[in-house]
Amino acid sequence: MKLYIVGFGAGDPDGMTLAAHKALSESELIVGYTTYIGLIRELFPDKEFISTGMREERKRVRIALENAERRTTALVCSGDPELYGMAAPAYELAAEYPLAEIVVVAGVSAAFSGGALLGSPLTNDLAVISLSDLLTPAERIEKRLRCAAEGDLVTVLYNPASRTRPDHLKRACDIFLEYRPAETVCGIARNIGREGQTSLVMTLAELRGYPADMFTTVFIGNSETQLINGKMVTPRGYGNG
């Protein structure tokens, strides 16, 4: 049987792809993180759901794989399942469940849905970095930030702050300020596709003091990013044709 690994976007039904909706409609069981199940439960009232809490990712994957050996199952993620999602752990454990056929269904990540709110900040080369050091050593995160800053990449930051690490975004901005001017165009998108959605364009200096949280996605422009009619825009360089 199939195990669909489904990225459903930010949670707004309008942001779910047709392929994601089709996969969830075909599934008898939908497995996911408790918060994510809450976002989609009303869209599929006839389905069976199993949810688990934070830091129970591998448990969720095993539940989904076990069920997928006998019935069509979906394992859901917000955004895209390949970007900080559940696709990789499902493949890592798949050998133990040979009857489950994995099918990854792409979704719209916060990087792109948030970028659309801000304008068009991601039109050229970019980097996506999580500031959470739960799974990645802080030293490695800092090295990646420094490489992105030095390489003049537009950079999207996930998990910029939490109660236990309130200064991570400030430290990231300090690294970028070594390579980019304080007036570099930046932005944030918060609660993307959900109640209370907001987006703000600001300078890198202003971003350093912004009170971000886990619902915030951060965008740091490169040397070419501009403020155009209040929007954050990174030109592609198509010329005047």
pLDDT score of 204: 98
pLDDT score of 105: 98
pLDDT score of 12: 84
Task: Name, in order, each residue with C-beta under 8 angstroms of 45's C-beta and a sequence gap of 6 or more.
Answer: none
Domains and CATH numbers, the chain: 2-105 (3.40.1010.10), 110-233 (3.30.950.10)
**How would DSSP label each residue in the chain?**
-EEEEEE-BTS-GGGS-HHHHHHHHH-SEEEEEHHHHHHHGGG-TTSEEEEE-TT-HHHHHHHHHHHHTTS-EEEEESB-TTSSSSHHHHHHHGGG-TTPEEEEE----HHHHHHHHHEETTSS-EEEEE---SSS-HHHHHHHHHHHHHTT-EEEEES---TT-TTHHHHHHHHHHTTS-TT-EEEEEESTTSTT-EEEEEEHHHHHT----TTEEEEE--TT-EEETTEEE-----TT-
Task: Name, in order, each residue with C-beta under 8 angstroms of 56's C-beta and a sequence gap of 6 or more.
Answer: none
If 0-12 CB within 10 Å is exposed, 13-18 middle and 19+ buried, where does residue 119 land?
buried
C-beta of residue 70 within 8 angstroms of C-beta of residue 1: yes
pLDDT score of 11: 77
- Tens digit of each residue's pLDDT, the chain (241 residues): 999 999 999 878 889 999 999 999 999 999 999 999 999 999 999 999 999 998 899 999 999 999 999 999 999 999 999 999 999 999 999 999 999 999 999 999 999 999 999 999 999 999 999 999 988 999 999 999 999 999 999 999 999 988 777 899 999 999 999 999 999 999 999 999 988 999 999 999 999 999 999 999 999 999 999 999 999 999 987 655 5
CA distance 194 to 198: 9
Query: What is the model's pTM?
Result: 0.94
Amino acid identity, residue 232? Answer: M
pLDDT score of 47: 97
